Amino acid sequence: MGARFPLTAALLLTFALAGWSVHAQTVQTAAPSTVPAAPQAATPDLPRVRLVATGGTISNKTGGRLTAEELVGLMPSVGRYARPEFEQFSNLASSQLTLDQWVALSRRINQLFKEDPGVAGIVVTSGTDTLEELAYFLDLTIRSAKPVVVVGSMRNPSTLGYEGAANLLEGFRVAAEPSARGRGVMVVLNDEINAAREVTKTDALRLNTFQTRGYGILGVVDSDRVMFYRNVEKKHTADSEFDINAIASLPRVDVILTYQGATGDLIKAAVDQGAKGIIIAGAGAGATSGTQGEGIAYALEKGVFVATTTRTGSGRIAARQRPANALPPPAGQRTRSDRAIAGEDLAPVKARLLLMLALTKTQDGAEVQRMFIEY
Ligand code: ASP
């Protein structure tokens, strides 16, 4: 920390001399390694955009992770579009962040919008592995129409062809863009803007990994301008009913995959371990296999919610439709349960997040189903 202050102070002085308005705040610190290049001076009437850095490959340089301020320093031309600010939330791989950290991150972003009405938008850096989950969680819990843009990169800063700086700059451009307001949390990589609710990492290594199957991109970031082509119809951000400040912790919800001859024992085990919800990543239009039907009946009888989704990667599970080949419940037990939820078109991992948030508000199956239709 002792070495950090002079570096930060020197940077702020440099930026101040360059006519910048840069505010740095470190929520969780990470060791800085190099001094960023001074970005082009920004004019005072440009939008203020704040980077909240969480880690990931975009900052995972050989020998030490890039800090938020170093990431900003990678974009010499950012001053043409925005007045950048930055803070370090964490510096971890995406899958290492805990759900409690996600809650804290969402609270922090909501706080920034509330306490600093002058901020135009926020860019969040994230590892790409679970980026789509974080983005949808923020989409459901950030109550502002201002743009929140999640960016990452597939190549790290020590690799030839590192695309992180370009993705970050494009994230800043979208966050500074007035026409980006009210579109929900967006994911920007590879010159494309995708909706947090819809996007999926589709390839382990390729640069064009983030795709929205079925619906396509929201827009593009080109050299001349940011261009949007469509909106997301579902509720999000400013219209969300989920208040992150009222949530102490998220209930356990597990995702269970359907495959040939799958056993219901895994579902029962999750229930016995305290799961309050189960997401079935079913085959096709939500079919289960093997003895999973028995596991589902067990879960429903124990008061656990079971939402059916599809493992196919796109398509919709119709509301109130039981899985096509679910076993009938044992004689004498209820044949229908309002805790059996149709997961609509959400990917299993995103249905999990919605069910977690829904269960912090209600135990009424009809209400949970409404949320799955609306969000
Ligand atoms: N392992 C990294 C992460 O998710 C992958 C990435 O950022 O691309 O943090």
Q: Are residues 275 and 303 in contact, defined by beta-carbon separation less than 8 angstroms?
A: no
Entry pTM: 0.88
Residue 134 contacts by C-beta under 8 Å, 6 or more apart in sequence? Answer: 54, 94, 97, 102, 105, 124, 126, 150
Q: Ligand 1, residue 152: give the atom nearest the CA.
A: 7
Distance 235 CA to ligand 1 centre (A): 28
Q: Are residues 359 and 210 in the same domain?
A: no
**pLDDT for residue 262:** 98
Q: Whose structure tokens read 């843009």?
A: 149
Q: Which residues of 322-357 are buried (b: 16+ CB within 10 A; e: fewer)?
A: bbeebbebeeeeeeebebbbbbbbbbbbbbbbbbbb
Measure the CA–CA gap between 278 and 270, rounded to whole angstroms.
Answer: 8
Q: Are residues 229 and 122 in the same domain?
A: yes
Q: Is the CB of 240 under 6 A from ligand 1?
A: no
Q: Are residues 161 and 274 in the same domain?
A: no
**pLDDT for residue 10:** 39
Q: Are residues 170 and 80 in contact, defined by beta-carbon separation less than 8 angstroms?
A: no
Q: Are residues 195 and 298 in the same domain?
A: no
pLDDT of residue 28 exceeding 90: no
pLDDT of residue 14 exceeding 70: no
**pLDDT for residue 41:** 66
Distance 308 CA to ligand 1 centre (A): 28
Measure the CA–CA gap between 300 and 337, rounded to whole angstroms.
Answer: 7
Distance 265 CA to ligand 1 centre (A): 32
- pLDDT, tens digit, for every residue of 94-123? 999 999 999 999 999 999 999 999 999 999
Q: Ligand 1, residue 129: give the atom nearest the CA.
A: 4
Distance 293 CA to ligand 1 centre (A): 35
What is the phi/psi pair of residue 61, to 5°? -75, 145
Measure the CA–CA gap between 294 and 275, rounded to whole angstroms.
Answer: 16
Q: Are residues 196 and 106 in the same domain?
A: yes
Measure the CA–CA gap between 369 and 340, rounded to whole angstroms.
Answer: 9
Of 48-62, 181-195, 247-261, 317-331, which gets the smallest average pLDDT? 317-331
Q: Domain containing 348: what range?
A: 250-374
Q: Is the CB of 56 under 6 A from ligand 1?
A: yes
Reported as a pLDDT band with limits 50, 70 and 90, residue 329 is low
Reported as a pLDDT band with limits 50, 70 and 90, residue 337 is confident
**pLDDT for residue 214:** 94
- pLDDT, tens digit, for every residue of 194-247? 999 999 999 999 999 999 999 999 999 999 999 999 999 999 999 999 999 999
Domain stops at, among 213, 239, 265: 239
Q: Are residues 223 and 278 in the same domain?
A: no
Q: Among all residues, which ones are annotated catalytic?
A: 57
Distance 127 CA to ligand 1 centre (A): 4
Q: Is the CB of 338 under 6 A from ligand 1?
A: no
Q: Ligand 1, residue 92: give the atom nearest the CA.
A: 9
**pLDDT for residue 354:** 99
Residue 345 contacts by C-beta under 8 Å, 6 or more apart in sequence? Answer: 214, 314, 315, 316, 317
**Mean pLDDT of the region 125-140:** 99
The SS3 call for residue 350 is helix
Q: Are residues 82 and 172 in contact, defined by beta-carbon separation less than 8 angstroms?
A: yes
pLDDT of residue 159 exceeding 80: yes
Q: Are residues 62 and 132 in the same domain?
A: yes
Structural domain contains residue 245:
no
Reported as a pLDDT band with limits 50, 70 and 90, residue 23 is very low
Total domains in the chain come to 2
CB atoms within 10 A of CB 137: 27
Q: Are residues 89 and 234 in the same domain?
A: yes
Specify the residue with its C-alpha closest to ligand 1, atom 7: 127
Q: Ligand 1, residue 58: give the atom nearest the CA.
A: 7
Reported as a pLDDT band with limits 50, 70 and 90, residue 272 is very high
DSSP 226: E
Q: Are residues 113 and 226 in the same domain?
A: yes
Q: Is the CB of 129 under 6 A from ligand 1?
A: yes
pLDDT of residue 29 exceeding 60: no
pLDDT of residue 176 exceeding 80: yes
Measure the CA–CA gap between 335 and 324, rounded to whole angstroms.
Answer: 14
**pLDDT for residue 327:** 61
Reported as a pLDDT band with limits 50, 70 and 90, residue 320 is low
Of 142-156, 182-196, 227-241, 307-321, which gets the smallest average pLDDT? 307-321
Q: Are residues 208 and 259 in the same domain?
A: no
